[in-house]
Amino acid sequence: MNLLRIMLAFALALAMTPVLAQEKPEKELTAAEWRARIQADKKSIVERGMKLTPEEAKKFWPLYESFQRELAVPQREYTRAVIDYVAAENSMTDANARRLSEQVLAASLQEAQLHQKHFKKLLGALPAKKAARYMQIENKIQAVLRYDAAREIPLVP
């Protein structure tokens, strides 16, 4: 059952389709509630948070779509490694632990490089404050999605 929950959490994280309907919730939302909203309408959350002018939006949205497509690659690699880890949890060897850790680290590095590359592109299309704001929004969304998955993944025995 845990494997199924973890796989579902990562599948949802990968889906990362559009996200939120209200800017300020009336009550504190749980991680699960935020995750559900993020899954439902990520693009809408970004749109509400960015407050772009029409000219900025013309430049931003193609960059956003490109970034999301590129980000899916390391996120898939990360998810595969975690699923392999969970599947091998009870029979984890040192060699397996090393291989899976290296895969997770490589995916994280690739994701960080994409963030850096994309931020430079954003700086060419938006004022620096708005480019930084988007990176904050993206990081917060990723943090919510990863927190829930990380909570479910047991430590290496």
Phi, psi of 19, rounded to the nearest 5 degrees: -135, -55
Whole-number Å distance between alpha carbons of 131 and 124: 9
**Model confidence, pTM:** 0.72
The residue among 113, 112, 114, 119 whose CA lies nearest residue 135 is 119
The residue among 14, 17, 156, 139 whose CA lies nearest residue 97 is 156
Q: Give yes or no for residue 40 having a pLDDT over 90.
A: no
Whole-number Å distance between alpha carbons of 100 and 6: 16
Question: Does some domain include residue 157?
Answer: no
pLDDT at position 64 is 96
Structure tokens at 155: 């430590």
The number of domains in the chain is 1
Task: Pick from 30-44, 73-87, 118-132, 138-152 the range whose average pLDDT is largest.
Answer: 118-132
Which secondary structure element, helix H or strand E, spans residue 133, and what is its range? helix 128-152
Question: Does some domain include residue 22?
Answer: yes
pLDDT at position 148 is 74
Q: Which domain holds residue 120?
A: 2-152
pLDDT at position 52 is 97
pLDDT at position 149 is 75
The SS3 call for residue 19 is strand
Question: Does some domain include residue 23?
Answer: yes
Average pLDDT over residues 13-29: 49
pLDDT at position 39 is 67
Q: Alpha-carbon dihedral of residues 48, 69, 138, 140, nearest 10 degrees?
A: 120
Question: Does some domain include residue 13?
Answer: yes
pLDDT at position 103 is 94
